[in-house]
Amino acid sequence: MATVLASWLHLSGELTLGELIVGLGTLALAFFTWQLARRTKQEVKKTEESLQLTRDSMEAQDMPFVVPSPPAKLGATTPVLNVYLGRERFWLGLWNLGKGPAMVTEVSLRTGDGDLLQPLEAQVAVAAGSSLDQLVPLSLSLADLPGDAWTATLLIVYSHASGSPYVTVSKVDVEGEKATCRDFRRAPAGDVEGAWKRTEARPPTRFDAQ
């Protein structure tokens, strides 16, 4: 009897039925644990995506949109390049058409030769729906500008209250001291160079700053 029981308990010379059952249970537990971890990871990913969509939706509702406008103090119809208090400057208004405040960190006027403006001395806060006049010093003299009539690209870089950066890109026709903006296009600020290149390649459309 003992011989029969022993042969029944041993499936091989080394593995007993009890050991087999324990092994299968261990494999089943490992598979269940892996499935649970996989599902948990998927749920966490879905939750993170949902939270990001919620944040993006909230940000879109009060996203700033800063565009160039004529400086109010001059009573001009366009931004201007002139001499003010003995310094050669680009004078424009920073008009926030968006629903949220903006922190302007950079204003640049670019041609094929580079940026014609010096960096801002300080960041400029522009409330939603408001406009602020800004004087930006030129990086060269008026006499060294391309000529009486030329084209440039104006970039205004700013951030949302959440820290998300944006850039408004405008094609600009300069004639004398007048700088007429053709259009305004907002893009993520991380794509400043790409936005500039796309603007350079895009056919002009008329949308003057008023």
| Domain count along the chain | 2
149-184 per-position pLDDT tens digit: 889 999 999 998 888 889 999 999 998 888 999 888
Q: What domain range is 19 assigned to?
A: 2-61
For residue 84, which of 133, 153, 149 has the smallest C-alpha distance? 133
Give a yes or no: residue 149 inside a domain.
yes
142: three-class secondary structure by DSSP? helix
Query: Is the pLDDT confidence value at 85 over 70?
Result: no
- Mean pLDDT, residues 128-157: 88
Give a yes or no: residue 114 inside a domain.
yes
Please state, in angstroms and rounded to a whole number, the distance separating the CA atoms of residues 100 and 61.
Answer: 8
Furthest C-alpha separation in the chain: 115
> What pLDDT does residue 210 have?
33
Please state, in angstroms and rounded to a whole number, the distance separating the CA atoms of residues 210 and 207.
Answer: 9
Give a yes or no: residue 98 inside a domain.
yes
- Mean pLDDT, residues 183-203: 60
> What pLDDT does residue 30 have?
83
Please state, in angstroms and rounded to a whole number, the distance separating the CA atoms of residues 161 and 198.
Answer: 27
